Amino acid sequence: MFGHETGEERLIAERSNVLEADAFQDVLVVGAGLMGSSIAWLLSKAGCRVVLIDAGSFGGEASAAGAGMLAPGGEYREPSPAARFAIESLAMYPTFVRQFEKESGISIDYRKCGAIELAYDHEGWRALRRRADTQRRFGISAQMLCPSSLSALAPGLNLEGLLGVLYYPDDACVAPADLLRALRAVCECEGVRILENSPVEKIDAERRRVMVRVREQRIIGRHLVLAAGAWSSQIPVSRLGVTTHIPESFPVKGHLVGYRLLSGSLRPILRNGHHYIVQRKSGFTIAGSSEEQGGFNRSVNPERISEIRHAVGSFYTPISMLEPTREWTGFRPASESHAPTIGRVPGTNVWLAYGHYRNGILLAPATAHLVSHQITECAPQVTGR
Ligand code: GLY
């Protein structure tokens, strides 16, 4: 039963070079980004003893790098299970954020700010109208706006040559740094044990338990969730000593550029093609992005930065002459199926939650609820620590 060691488990723990005498955990979560820590928090609330393990620092990779757009309007153009999942996750956000704020006392910059998609040529505008028709049929609200109404909604927008505008009123934004601070606090409050700078070398699944090797130590759990973003498939997983295939994960690097603007000067997200702008409550304004496949190379490429600056400056004039105050990169967690990898590795208690690609921040609430529900359902005896 969760929360109670059997004699066999105690013996294993004693024989192993484990973290502590009571290191037999209910759930080990590998990857302390938004995804892993949200799952850890929910499982802990459900009464599980949880250890959250990260190779680096809590939320130190894609979660912290992201612009924080919660914007299915710009990301899902066709009906699909992934699109439905995204719409569901967006709807969960207000409660998700309120709960963290209430439990941690940390305020989170989350706003239903809407998003504007711009078309400066006829072909682009035709494509946007077709897209809106399709999206409305599967649940994304999209309105056509008259370009002349935009000076009030988004002052500073370049109206010259603007042919059409699509408005997504339900799209929202969140500051990932706020979310991560609050998540860490609520995880700690729930008793989640957080191990940072602790790379997991391998995952060994046996019939009813899973072991990981971390810095020469073994940690044993009843279940394990692998949520290590782009790094997930680099960790070998074996079942009863035999290597098991898990879907490949890989990084798609994005460059981002930050500017200091007046707080409140831009409300909605602005998008044109692959480029977007989103403003935090503080006025810090983020422009993105590129999509590059080339491994885990963190370097900032001045050419990519200049392309982004030029592209966003062409539709949002307040930043066309402004020097950025920050330039950075992040690794989107892509996977071979181009869709999130969520589910159980057959015949094991290893669960996968990675590959959220461009929408990890958006998909965190729905993924966390799904994975934590699946784990607690298959162990209905969870009754409390
Ligand atoms: N979610 C936006 C991006 O990945 O650039």
Q: What is the CATH number of the domain that holds 137?
A: 3.30.9.10
Decide: helix, strand or coil at residue 273.
coil
Specify the number of domains making up the chain: 2
Q: Determine the distance separating the centroid of ligand 1 and the alpha carbon of 14, expressed in angstroms.
A: 46
Nearest residue to 219 via CA among 203, 230, 243, 232: 203
- Residue 378: predicted pLDDT: 79
**Does residue 101 lie in a domain region?**
no
Residue nearest (by alpha carbon) to ligand 1 atom 4 = 358
Ligand 1 lined by 63 (C-beta under 6 Å): no
**Does residue 99 lie in a domain region?**
no
Looking at the chain, the whole-number percentage of residues with pLDDT higher than 70 is: 92
Kindly report which listed range (232-236, 307-311, 375-379) carries the lowest average pLDDT score: 375-379
- Give the range of the structural domain holding residue 151, as residue numbers without chain letter: 111-172+250-335
Instruction: Convert the pLDDT of each residue in 65-91 to its tens digit.
Output: 999 999 999 999 999 999 999 999 999
Same domain, 200 and 322: no
Q: Determine the distance separating the centroid of ligand 1 and the alpha carbon of 175, expressed in angstroms.
A: 14
Same domain, 281 and 221: no
Mean pLDDT of 58-63: 97
Ligand 1 lined by 290 (C-beta under 6 Å): no
d(CA 91, CA 99): 14
Same domain, 350 and 297: no
Between these two residues, 60 and 377, which has the higher pLDDT value?
60
Atom of ligand 1 at shortest distance to CA of 254?
A: 5
Atom of ligand 1 at shortest distance to CA of 289?
A: 5
Q: Is 271 exposed, middle or buried (0-12, 13-18, 19+ CB in 10 A)?
A: buried
Same domain, 233 and 351: yes
Return the best residue to mutate from 253, 274, 289 for the ligand 1 pocket (most ligand atoms within 8 A of CB). 289
Between helix 34-45 and helix 360-377 the angle, nearest 10°, is: 30
Q: Is the peptide bond before 290 cis (omega within 30 degrees of 0)?
A: no
**Does residue 53 lie in a domain region?**
yes
Instruction: Convert the pLDDT of each residue in 119-147 to its tens digit.
Output: 999 999 999 999 999 999 999 999 999 88
Mean pLDDT of 321-342: 95
Mean pLDDT of 205-217: 92
Q: Is the predicted pLDDT of residue 201 greater than 90, yes or no?
A: yes
Give the tokens for residue 222: 């009843």
- Residue 23: predicted pLDDT: 58
- Residue 379: predicted pLDDT: 58
Q: Is the predicted pLDDT of residue 17 greater than 50, yes or no?
A: no
**Could you give phi then psi for residue 168, rounded to 5 degrees?**
-105, 95
Task: Name the β-bridge partners of 113.
Answer: none
- Residue 66: predicted pLDDT: 97
Same domain, 161 and 265: yes
Ligand 1 lined by 358 (C-beta under 6 Å): yes
Question: Over the range 41-80, which residues count as b (16 or more CB within 10 Å of their CB) and which as e?
Answer: bbbbbbbbbbbbbbbeebbbbbbbbbbbbbbbbbbbbeee
d(CA 280, CA 260): 10
Looking at the chain, the whole-number percentage of residues with pLDDT higher than 90 is: 87
Ligand 1 lined by 254 (C-beta under 6 Å): yes
Same domain, 239 and 254: no
Decide: helix, strand or coil at residue 3.
coil
Same domain, 167 and 269: yes
Sign of CA dihedral 87, 92, 98, 104: negative
Q: Determine the distance separating the centroid of ligand 1 and the alpha carbon of 344, expressed in angstroms.
A: 27
Same domain, 258 and 168: yes
Q: Determine the distance separating the centroid of ligand 1 and the alpha carbon of 66, expressed in angstroms.
A: 7
Same domain, 199 and 343: yes
- The predicted model scores a pTM of 0.92
Ligand 1 lined by 67 (C-beta under 6 Å): yes
DSSP letters along 27-53, please?
Answer: EEEE--SHHHHHHHHHHHHTT--EEEE
- Residue 290: predicted pLDDT: 97
Give the tokens for residue 125: 């505008």
Instruction: Convert the pLDDT of each residue in 158-175 to its tens digit.
Output: 999 999 999 999 999 999
Residue nearest (by alpha carbon) to ligand 1 atom 5 = 289
**Does residue 92 lie in a domain region?**
no
Between helix 176-190 and helix 81-104 the angle, nearest 10°, is: 70
Q: Determine the distance separating the centroid of ligand 1 and the alpha carbon of 8, expressed in angstroms.
A: 47
**Does residue 79 lie in a domain region?**
no
Instruction: Convert the pLDDT of each residue in 172-199 to its tens digit.
Output: 999 999 999 999 999 999 999 999 999 9
**Does residue 290 lie in a domain region?**
yes
Please report, for the domain that includes residue 14, its CATH number: 3.50.50.60
Please report, as a single letter, which amino acid is at residue 361: I
Q: Would you give the distance in Å from CA 193 to the centre of its chain?
A: 21
Q: Determine the distance separating the centroid of ligand 1 and the alpha carbon of 343, expressed in angstroms.
A: 24
Q: Determine the distance separating the centroid of ligand 1 and the alpha carbon of 360, expressed in angstroms.
A: 9
Return the best residue to mutate from 276, 293, 363 for the ligand 1 pocket (most ligand atoms within 8 A of CB). 276
**Does residue 95 lie in a domain region?**
no
**Does residue 83 lie in a domain region?**
no
Same domain, 11 and 138: no
Same domain, 221 and 320: no
Same domain, 36 and 57: yes
Ligand 1 lined by 289 (C-beta under 6 Å): yes
